[in-house]
């Protein structure tokens, strides 16, 4: 895979609010992260992330199997859009679909996701959002956290890039834990990207 440029262009995939995307864009804007937000793609026509992108001048597209006609056509449309926008690194920020094989191949070791638990625990199909935090609390875990990982063809199985721990308190509800984990996500995803862009973390050593 071609090495990342000194200032990579970021493509975001988001299904709903995109709060992690917003945190990363903010890190770019204030100069903490040496990267350029280039494109947002959402499978949800009504997502708040699309509205935010429109209001903030970020190129954005709604692409879904319904709008393109099939999963195969969606995969090709994703690839075309990413290439047209000169995207170097793809960020999944709450994207609720699998990435197609064409994009996975073209962007091997260049697709990152963040998961609200310490993988390999509490990962896989159906383990997202409140489902994760409910399971963590039900199993009486004393810590949870966030995992940034490379994306492959399955849910949450790609190589781990880095993790950060978050304590689980005795009185926590799933909502309490979710809020604490999300706050860590916003900080940790950007920090991990800084380490990737600086060369401290080489994604090709992981995949």
Would the CA dihedral through 83, 84, 86, 92 be positive or negative? negative
* DSSP codes, 11-33: EEEESS--HHHHHHHHHHHTTSS
Is 115 a known active-site residue? yes
Rounded to the nearest angstrom, the gap between the alpha carbon of residue 7 and the centroid of all alpha carbons in its chain is: 19
Name, in order, each residue with C-beta under 8 angstroms of 100's C-beta and a sequence gap of 6 or more: 71, 72, 74, 75, 78, 79
Of 60, 78, 115, 133, catalytic: 115
Q: How many CA atoms lie within 13 Å of 23's alpha carbon, on the beta-carbon side?
A: 22
Report the relative pairing of strands 36-42 and 9-14 from DSSP bridges.
parallel
Catalytic residues: 115
């Amino acid at each position: 895979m071609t090495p990342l440029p000194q200032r990579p262009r970021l493509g975001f995939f988001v299904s709903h609010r995109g709060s992690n995307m917003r945190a990363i864009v903010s890190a770019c804007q204030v100069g903490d992260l040496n990267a350029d937000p280039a494109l947002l793609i959402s499978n949800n026509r009504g997502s708040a992330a699309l509205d935010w992108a429109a209001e903030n001048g970020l190129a954005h597209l709604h692409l879904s199997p319904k709008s393109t006609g099939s999963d195969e056509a969606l995969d090709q449309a994703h690839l075309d859009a990413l290439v047209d926008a000169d995207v170097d690194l793809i960020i999944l920020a709450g994207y609720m679909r699998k990435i197609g094989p064409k994009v996975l191949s073209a962007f091997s070791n260049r697709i990152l996701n963040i998961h609200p638990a310490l993988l390999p625990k509490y990962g896989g199909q159906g383990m997202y959002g409140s489902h994760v935090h409910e399971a963590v609390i039900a199993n009486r875990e004393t810590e949870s956290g966030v995992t940034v990982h490379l994306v492959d063809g399955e849910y949450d199985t790609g190589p781990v890039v880095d993790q950060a721990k978050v304590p689980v308190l005795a009185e926590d509800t799933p909502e309490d834990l979710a809020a604490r984990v999300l706050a860590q996500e916003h900080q940790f995803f950007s920090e991990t990207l800084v380490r990737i862009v600086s060369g401290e973390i080489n994604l090709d050593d992981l995949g």
